[in-house]
């Protein structure tokens, strides 16, 4: 289907290029022919020239001059991440995608890539060479490096996706508006940074197994790229740990807060943290007591250290909170429970001293342990009744509090209901902007989908 300059595109496919004068023409022709025959909505192809030093820019401009569906953006500095961020941020399309100029990924995967985004089911979509069903032809060296890198992502950044670096991705425009301001890398790590932030925000990432053929003429410096990616991983991990990226705020704005786990799972994790805390508490208590410290003082110091550990571990492990936001407030609540635990254990020590003044340290340790169990039950009840998890961030504040925090304005096209400052339903999705855009595109083109097909996209003959 042809598109004109007066119709807002549903899909904008970006092709970042650097010194590709020989291949950019064939790539764009093949892509536009594919879109013309298979994609029934308005689309655009954007060639993003990354400061090429050959004739790539001139070739791209000649292509755009003969096809109004193609545009050219020139950047004065290199960097695939820089090009994607700039073009995606400025695009007026509902769905933003990109693919490598060598078209190593078979284009038959394009529809499966964008369909979950057009339906509103997913927030991002990626082509994966490592997902079940993918068919890949490439050398052993690149296969080994790719699998090692994704293993590092899983262990170092807890990545849940299978392939971060495949040059075949798409994202909804409203999601991009939330995430791109927090993506810093301007080169190859851009993809990984975007996906990890999206995952931490509780956004849904659809994976499409692809047919992929290695380009023997690829000029990517695999070793240098791998070293840069490792440096990017360290920086991203630090930014996430310090709360520099407001994952909980983005999750709330996108309506993708984490669903609360079952009671059994929470009890299991809480119990595991409790066992570790108790071992730490009793170990320190026995060590300090054996060293001659007064039992009450030894108990107080050991319990204080164990409580700080317990609160932090439950915040991260049991309830899924990350970052520094709200950490101090939660530690204050933990210290209040510390006072309760101290009261339980101190009363137990006082009672033991009154009933058996000569009791050995082992007996005192056992009594303190029983008191600790009683306090732990109270702690779990308090934590569960007062705290609710939000998408990979801090414990979720009340809706009224969300409305007053800067940056928690609703995403474009998502009106709020009276008396409800922000849509924070877990995994509510954000179908409305994309679905309205599709309907508007049909109206502008003077065409309508067939009756009964509003919930599914039916390909039509190319116009």
DSSP for 15-38, please give it: EEESS-TTTHHHHHHHHHHHHHHH
Q: CA geometry: angle at 244 spanning 262 and 99, to 5°?
A: 85
Please state, in angstroms and rounded to a whole number, the distance separating the CA atoms of residues 283 and 287.
6
Q: For position 345, what pLDDT does the model report? A: 74
Please state, in angstroms and rounded to a whole number, the distance separating the CA atoms of residues 205 and 131.
13
What does the pLDDT look like over 401-449, one tens digit per residue?
A: 333 334 434 334 333 333 332 233 333 444 556 666 666 665 665 554 4
CATH homologous superfamily of 11-254 equals: Spore Coat Polysaccharide Biosynthesis Protein SpsA; Chain A (3.90.550.10)
Residues in the chain with pLDDT values less than 50: 2-4, 259, 389-430, 448-463
Q: For position 116, what pLDDT does the model report? A: 94
Q: For position 57, what pLDDT does the model report? A: 96
Q: For position 433, what pLDDT does the model report? A: 61
Q: For position 84, what pLDDT does the model report? A: 96
Pick from 130, 134, 157, 155: which is nearest to 144 by CA? Answer: 130
- The residues spanned by each domain of the chain are 11-254, 263-386
Q: For position 63, what pLDDT does the model report? A: 96
Q: What is the pTM of this model?
A: 0.64
Q: For position 432, what pLDDT does the model report? A: 57
What does the pLDDT look like over 134-189, one tens digit per residue?
A: 998 877 777 787 788 888 888 888 888 988 888 999 999 999 999 999 999 999 89
Mode of pairing for the β-strands spanning 124-128 and 95-99: unpaired
The pairs formed by 258-261 with CB atoms below 8 angstroms and a separation of 24 or more are 258/202, 258/320, 258/389, 258/390, 258/391, 258/392, 258/426, 259/426, 259/427, 260/388, 260/389, 260/426, 261/389
């Amino acid at each position: 289907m042809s598109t004109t300059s007066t119709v807002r595109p549903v899909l904008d496919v970006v092709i970042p290029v650097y010194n590709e004068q020989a291949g950019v023409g064939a790539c764009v022709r093949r892509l536009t022919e594919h879109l013309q025959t298979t994609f029934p909505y308005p689309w655009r192809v954007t060639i993003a020239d990354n400061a090429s030093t050959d004739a790539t820019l001139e070739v791209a401009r000649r292509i755009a001059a003969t096809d109004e569906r193609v545009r050219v953006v020139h950047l004065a500095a290199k960097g695939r991440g820089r090009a994607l961020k700039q073009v995606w941020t400025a695009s007026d399309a509902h769905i933003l995608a990109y693919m490598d100029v060598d078209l190593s990924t078979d284009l038959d995967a394009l529809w499966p890539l964008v369909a979950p985004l057009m339906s509103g089911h997913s927030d991002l979509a990626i082509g994966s060479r490592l997902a079940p069903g993918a068919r890949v032809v490439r050398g052993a060296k690149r296969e080994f490096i790719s699998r090692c890198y994704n293993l590092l992502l899983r262990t170092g950044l807890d990545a849940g996706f299978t392939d971060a670096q495949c040059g075949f991705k798409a994202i909804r425009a409203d999601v991009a508006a939330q995430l791109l301001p927090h993506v810093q890398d301007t080169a190859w790590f851009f993809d990984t940074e975007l996906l990890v932030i999206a995952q931490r925000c509780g956004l849904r990432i659809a994976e499409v197994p692809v047919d992929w053929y290695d380009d023997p003429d690829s000029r990517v410096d695999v070793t240098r790229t791998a070293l840069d990616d490792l440096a990017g991983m360290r920086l991203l991990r630090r930014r996430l740990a310090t709360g520099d990226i407001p994952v909980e705020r983005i999750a709330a704005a996108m309506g993708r807060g984490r669903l609360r786990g079952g009671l059994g799972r929470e009890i299991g994790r809480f119990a595991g943290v409790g066992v570790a805390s108790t071992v730490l508490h009793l170990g320190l208590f026995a060590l300090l007591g054996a060293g001659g410290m007064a039992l009450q003082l030894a108990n107080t110091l050991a319990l204080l250290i164990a409580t700080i550990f317990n609160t932090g571990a439950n915040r991260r492990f049991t309830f899924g909170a990350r970052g520094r936001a709200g950490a101090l407030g939660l530690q204050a609540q933990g210290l209040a429970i510390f006072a309760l635990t101290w009261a339980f254990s101190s009363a137990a020590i006082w009672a033991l001293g009154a009933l058996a003044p000569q009791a050995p340290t082992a007996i005192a340790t056992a009594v303190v342990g029983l008191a600790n169990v009683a306090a732990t039950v109270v702690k779990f009840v308090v934590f569960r009744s007062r705290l609710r998890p939000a998408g990979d961030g801090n414990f979720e504040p009340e809706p009224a509090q969300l409305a007053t925090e800067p940056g928690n304005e609703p995403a474009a096209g998502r009106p709020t209901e009276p008396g409800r400052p922000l849509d924070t339903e877990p995994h509510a999705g954000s179908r409305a902007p994309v679905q309205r855009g599709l309907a508007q595109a049909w109206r502008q083109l003077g065409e309508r989908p067939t009756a009964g097909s509003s919930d599914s996209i039916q390909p039509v003959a190319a116009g």
